[in-house]
Amino acid sequence: MQRQRVNVTVTGAGGNIGYALMFRIASGQLLGPDVPVALRLLEIPSGLRAAEGSAFELQDSAFPLLREVLVTDDPVQAFDGANVAILVGSRPRGPGQQRADLLEGNARIFGPQGAAINAGAADDIRVVVVGNPANTNALVTASHAPDVPADRFTALTRLDHNRAVAQLAAHLSVPVTSVRGVAIWGNHSALQYPDVSHATIDGRPVRELVDEAWLVNEFIPRVANRGAEIIAVRGASSMGSAASATVDHVYDWVNGTGHDWTSAGVFSDGSYGVPAGLVSSYPVRSLGGRWAIEPGLAVDDFSRARINTSVAELQAERAAVSALGLLGPRESA
């Protein structure tokens, strides 16, 4: 029996990740093979034609689960009744632009979207921010949606997690299914910390199977800078893998992670020394439709230093948007 229809809003739908995402959503991979979906595609006016063309293609695919596609440049319309919101559309860093300009330009996008989510989204809304700087964009969005529980706002670090799993599997010549217990901590940036302290390969600790030099000099920088590597080789940023990780994130959030944890940017509750109120990546499990930070993991000195460095970047980003007056009522309350 088919379940109730789910309204999924995708912003930046005329862009690259948006294009890769929408066919997977419409085919049932985001939520499950028995869940009908209605898509709301949000763009700015210059991206509307691309989104409209994609909507034609969705129609031509005759997906059995796809009930409706709406294309709009109005955030209020796009988020009205939304159950899942995937915030991809963002402002890229321009030539010579400082990080502060990037933060400001994006906060001016994500603030109004948070307000629109607050005003009209469904009670069970779940938000994942993909557009960079993803963690701080998620923080800004949530700050403008004070009536929505903070745990409904997340940032995508599943791509980093998947990259870490895949790099370990390739290095040790095992299938990715042999790898468990990887974690991404902190910011989705080059200062993220891909952590293998608790990771195992077919039950054996990764730390016994790889040498320290490989971990420090190759694995960590490769995972953290993989986005730049893709751009250098491909001539464009990751699209298919970003869309795939987004599907993984939402699917697990809604359907549960089972016996393994994964990684996601969620609001800190102060766990592991990350100041409460930052959106930081953690090892998380989804239980009963909610993300829970994995408790009780030992953090050694090496990991502590890496987590602290990444969290300091998150704090600087929050301070920058706060100083610009771009945080909403949740933060100033």
Q: Which residues bind ligand NAD (CB under 6 A)?
A: 11-12, 14-18, 42-44, 46-47, 88-91, 109, 130-132, 134, 156, 159, 188, 237-239, 242
Distance of CA 280 to the CA centre of its chain: 11
Is 256 annotated to bind a ligand? Reply is: no
Is 13 annotated to bind a ligand? Reply is: yes
Question: Closer CB to ligand NAD, residue 198 or residue 226?
Answer: 226
Whether 161 sits among the annotated catalytic residues: the reply is no
Question: Closer CB to ligand NAD, residue 50 or residue 65?
Answer: 50
Minimum CB distance to ligand NAD, residue 142 (Å)? 16
For ligand NAD, the nearest residue by Cβ is 15
Minimum CB distance to ligand NAD, residue 33 (Å)? 25
Minimum CB distance to ligand NAD, residue 299 (Å)? 24
Is 18 annotated to bind a ligand? Reply is: yes
Is 207 annotated to bind a ligand? Reply is: no
Question: Closer CB to ligand NAD, residue 221 or residue 273?
Answer: 221
Question: Closer CB to ligand NAD, residue 65 or residue 165?
Answer: 165
Minimum CB distance to ligand NAD, residue 224 (Å)? 12
Give the active site residue among 188, 198, 249, 259.
188
Is 284 annotated to bind a ligand? Reply is: no
Catalytic residues: 188
Annotated binding site for substrate: 93, 99, 132, 163
> Residues within the annotated binding site for NAD(+)?
12-18, 106, 113, 130-132
